[in-house]
Amino acid sequence: MRFIRKTAVTDRMTERTGETIRIYIAFIIIAVFWGLSFYATIIALRKLSTFQVLQMRWGLSAVIFLILIAAKKVRLPHRPAELKYAVLAGLLQPCVYSMFETPGIGLTSSSESSLFIATIPCMTLIFGILFFHRKARPLLLLGIAAAFGGVLINTLFSPSFSAGGKLTGYFLLTGAVITGGLFSHASSRASEACSSMQITALMSLMAGGFFSVINALKGDFLQSIRLTFSDSPTLTAVLFLGVGCSCLCYLGFNYVIGRMNPAAVSNISASLTTTVGVVSGVLFAGDPFGWFTLAALGCTICGVLLSSRASTS
């Protein structure tokens, strides 16, 4: 009997260790692909319009999941209890979110956009306070203020800042932050009834169909495909966004958010993604770098971590 109990305990420890390793792997994938997604989006936008990028990115992701569904590797959610929050998550992100984020990145820079997107977990916490009766602790409010302060520092002190040229981009990225905060709660609720694979598959199919229809109505559907496959950098960027960012990252994010506090998941992924995004923008895209970059990165990450600590304490 003692041996059986010991074996059961060992099995549970092994299972927990395996899940911890999978969570670490998911965060690494999220950091690398989403961190570089800002730079990849800028490359894709050199040849394609906003909706052409979204059609190719999410269309590719949708094709991958259609193959998995046909091979009976993935089952789409179909019961009302499963669909309720899964459909809401798919509408918020990527359908609405992408229409803010992609043109916002194109009108700003990799570093600026990554810092803006890093404040999504703070917006998640704000919505938690407003709509889900979370307590507004002083440390939480300080963390939120620090995170948004970092964005302001990088925006206002950047040599490329202009109140006119980039203002539209800043407003678009703010819309992405608000939508992302709502998505975190919707995805967390969807994870109660659906697997991460089901949620990601539904999101990809919804977005692939949504942006393909928009481009078809505009008469740009076939041109999007032709332009993508006629230019190697554009094709590479689209493959990176479609396979890495739309498939692998959302699988990892939906997997982790179903096993951890949604605000904590958003905080950790945002901190990692922001660091990679800022570094890649400076190294590869020639983004401005100076004291304001380091100060902004430090404020944003510290704010995210402070708010995460306050939300879980």
Q: What digits encode the pLDDT tens for the residues 151-174?
A: 778 777 777 655 555 788 989 999
Give the residue-averaged pLDDT of 58-65.
Answer: 94
Q: How far is residue 55 CA from its own chain's centroid?
A: 17
- 164 belongs to a structural domain: yes
d(CA 286, CA 79): 49
User: 108 or 259: which carries more pLDDT confidence?
Assistant: 108
Q: For residue 296, what pLDDT band results from cuts at 50, 70 and 90? A: confident
Q: Is the pLDDT of residue 9 over 60?
A: no
The CA-atom distances, in angstroms, between 244 and each of 46, 70, 107, 163, 247 are 20, 21, 23, 34, 6
Asked if 89 contacts 203 with a C-beta cutoff of 8 angstroms, the reply is: yes
Residues 6 or more apart from 275 whose CB is under 8 A from it?
31, 35, 297, 301
Q: For residue 12, what pLDDT band results from cuts at 50, 70 and 90? A: low
d(CA 283, CA 260): 33
- 10 belongs to a structural domain: no
- 43 belongs to a structural domain: yes
- 235 belongs to a structural domain: yes
Give the residue-averaged pLDDT of 242-253.
Answer: 88
pLDDT computed for residue 61 by the predictor: 93
- 13 belongs to a structural domain: no
Query: Residue 127's domain spans which residues?
Result: 22-312
Nearest Cα neighbor of 262 from 168, 183, 173, 148 is 183
- For 161, the 3-state DSSP assignment is coil
Q: Is the pLDDT of residue 101 over 90?
A: yes
Q: For residue 308, what pLDDT band results from cuts at 50, 70 and 90? A: low
Give the residue-averaged pLDDT of 52-81.
Answer: 90
- 3 belongs to a structural domain: no
- 4 belongs to a structural domain: no
Q: Is the pLDDT of residue 178 over 80?
A: yes
Q: Is the pLDDT of residue 39 over 80?
A: yes
- 6 belongs to a structural domain: no
d(CA 277, CA 274): 5
d(CA 63, CA 175): 28
Number of domains in the chain: 1
Helix axes 138-157, 120-131, angle to 10 degrees: 140
Q: For residue 269, what pLDDT band results from cuts at 50, 70 and 90? A: confident
pLDDT computed for residue 251 by the predictor: 84
Q: How many CA atoms lie within 13 A of 215 on its CB side?
A: 24
- For 289, the 3-state DSSP assignment is coil
